[in-house]
Structure 1
Amino acid sequence: MAITAHLHQIYIAADASQVWTALVDSDWTRRWFHGTAFVSPPAAGRGYRTVLPDGSPAVEGMVEELVPPGDGTPGRLVQTWRVLYDAALGAEPPSRVEWTVEAAGPGLTLVRVRHGDLARSPRTWAETRDGWVWVLASLKSVLETGRPLPRAAARPPAPDVPADGDWHRAQAVEANNDAWELLERGALTPDEQEEVLRRAYAAAYHWQRARGAEPANEARACYLVAKALLAAARPTAALASARRALAVCERHGLDDFDLAYAHEACARALVALRRPDEAAAAWAAATAVPVADPEDREIVLADFAGYPD
């Protein structure tokens, strides 16, 4: 699945009950969470709002779960999350933050925070990716030393780069890896065929929008879609996607293994379509491409071992 959540954790030298109090008591949150405070004490099944030190709104949502830690059981705070301090972030769908506070030993607590439901919220995804790291470190500092962390210097975004470019890149990498995880199983069930197609197309979609994407990413996305279509017994569509990969390679001067794999995908699709002469020509083209890097060459040789059937 694509990345739709951030997961962070940290060990804190404090009892779980102390950590829990720091999490839900505004006298504490003001000290470690950017000076924010709950307007009223959080309660399960009720809405909540936090405010900044000047009284302006920070975040609002619904408290879905509020269970303090007990003997042998972790504490859990689950809250929906809609940003109010920034109009662009606030326009995105609400996400969900899940806190887990678990005793990890005498005077030691493991705190996990999962910020999920971010699939349709790329700006919130980017804003919170590193933000939670500082927040958890500040919580740890307050509980262990009595002092919050200094505010981190703001890092300006790269010039002329959309705010969601990093988000798309992360989604592309994850969807790509998940698609290959399925393809490497071999023969797929009908449900797995549908799933691998979804993952491959998701990877292609996100690579098209990712920060720093290059023609090689487009060629590899087309190749992945071709492999997924072939695994789903759709050789005609697989051939079309393989030829798109080949066209990208030729248009941008990509040689080496990208070109080799584009020809290989064409060959396998043509074999499935029972067009042996064209398949043999594509296979010959694939195996004739020189691959410079020794490690890449070994991988290509292993993948190309034996004529496709």
Structure 2
Amino acid sequence: MASAIPKHVWEMFIRATPQDVWALLTDDEKTPLWQHFNMTSRTEWVVGGAITFFVGDREMIVGKVLEIDPPHRFVHSFSAQWSPDVAVDPASRVTWLIEAVGENACKLTLTHDDFGGDTATSKAVGSGWPEALSRLKTLAETGEPFYIAAPMHG
């Protein structure tokens, strides 16, 4: 029987050093260049520090820095705030793992898990992360932002 505990894992190879990817990931000024919906972020880069993602001045995701091991591992909690159905979910966990593969390449693995069950958050994050990771890869490899228009709802 398949596990009922949701766990999202994305892996990709990036033509950039772990240090280059880490520099993008941990620079709040660069977040809107790669994050879903061009979100901005404000982060206290210490264990226990706050990490918050915004659209405009509205908090969309709030969390805490759980682990920080430059330039290889960054773990933070993730509490979605974008709608009432996700705001009641328990905080989940996002783990960024960056491993060197060769001279100027790395493997990025993002794991989003520890949802506390099959929650609204666990169902919602499957579309945002692939966009953010694709945009991060493009930015790391080319230095150019890759903007994707927000989907029209209506």
Report the TM-score, using the length of structure 1 for normalisation. Answer: 0.45
2:54 is aligned to 51
Report the secondary structure of 2:96's partner residue.
strand
1:108 is aligned to 105
Give 1:113 deviation, angstroms.
Answer: 0.5
Residues 1:153 and 2:151 aligned together: yes
Q: Comparing both chains, which one has the higher relative contact order based on Cα–Cα distances under 8 Å and sequence gaps of 6 or more?
A: 2
1:65 is aligned to 67
Report the secondary structure of 1:131's partner residue.
helix
Q: Residue by residue, what CA displacement relative to the aligned partner does 1:123-169 show, whole Å, maximum 9, x if unpaired?
A: 1111112321111101111122312241363689xxxxxxxxxxxxx
Q: Which residue identity does 1:36 align to in structure 2?
A: M
Give 1:96 deviation, angstroms.
Answer: 0.6
The answer on whether the counterparts of 1:138 and 1:149 sit within 8 Å (CA) in structure 2 is: yes
Q: Which residue identity does 1:139 align to in structure 2?
A: L
Q: For the structure 1 residues 155 and 7, does the alpha-carbon distance in structure 2 shift closer, same or farther, using more than 3 Å as the test?
A: farther
Q: Which has the higher strand share?
A: 2
Residues 1:39 and 2:42 aligned together: yes
Q: Which residue identity does 1:9 align to in structure 2?
A: E
2:4 is aligned to 2
Inter-partner Cα distance in structure 2 for 1:79 and 1:114: 11
Q: For the structure 1 residues 155 and 14, does the alpha-carbon distance in structure 2 shift closer, same or farther, using more than 3 Å as the test?
A: farther
Q: For the structure 1 residues 47 and 41, does the alpha-carbon distance in structure 2 shift closer, same or farther, using more than 3 Å as the test?
A: closer
Give 1:32 deviation, angstroms.
Answer: 0.5
Inter-partner Cα distance in structure 2 for 1:58 and 1:116: 18
Q: For the structure 1 residues 37 and 119, does the alpha-carbon distance in structure 2 shift closer, same or farther, using more than 3 Å as the test?
A: same
Give 1:121 deviation, angstroms.
Answer: 4.5
Alignment of 1:1-309 (within 5 A): 1-33=3-35, 34-52=37-55, 54-69=56-71, 75-145=72-142, 146-151=144-149, 153=151
Give 1:94 deviation, angstroms.
Answer: 0.8
Report the secondary structure of 2:32's partner residue.
helix
Q: Which residue identity does 2:128 align to in structure 1?
A: G
Q: Which has the higher helix share?
A: 1
Q: Residue by residue, what CA displacement relative to the aligned partner does 1:160-206 show, whole Å, maximum 9, x if unpaired?
A: xxxxxxxxxxxxxxxxxxxxxxxxxxxxxxxxxxxxxxxxxxxxxxx
Give the root-mean-square deviation of aligned CA atoms: 1.9
Q: Which residue identity does 1:48 align to in structure 2?
A: I
Inter-partner Cα distance in structure 1 for 2:26 and 2:148: 22
The answer on whether the counterparts of 1:60 and 1:81 sit within 8 Å (CA) in structure 2 is: yes
Q: How many percent identity over aligned positions? A: 25
Report the TM-score, using the length of structure 2 for normalisation. Answer: 0.87
Q: Which has the larger radius of gyration?
A: 1
1:277 is aligned to none
Report the secondary structure of 1:26's partner residue.
coil
Report the secondary structure of 1:39's partner residue.
strand
Inter-partner Cα distance in structure 1 for 2:11 and 2:45: 22
Q: In structure 1, list runs of 5 or more residues that go unmatched.
A: 70-74, 157-309
The answer on whether the counterparts of 1:92 and 1:120 sit within 8 Å (CA) in structure 2 is: no
Inter-partner Cα distance in structure 2 for 1:49 and 1:151: 22
Report the secondary structure of 1:136's partner residue.
helix
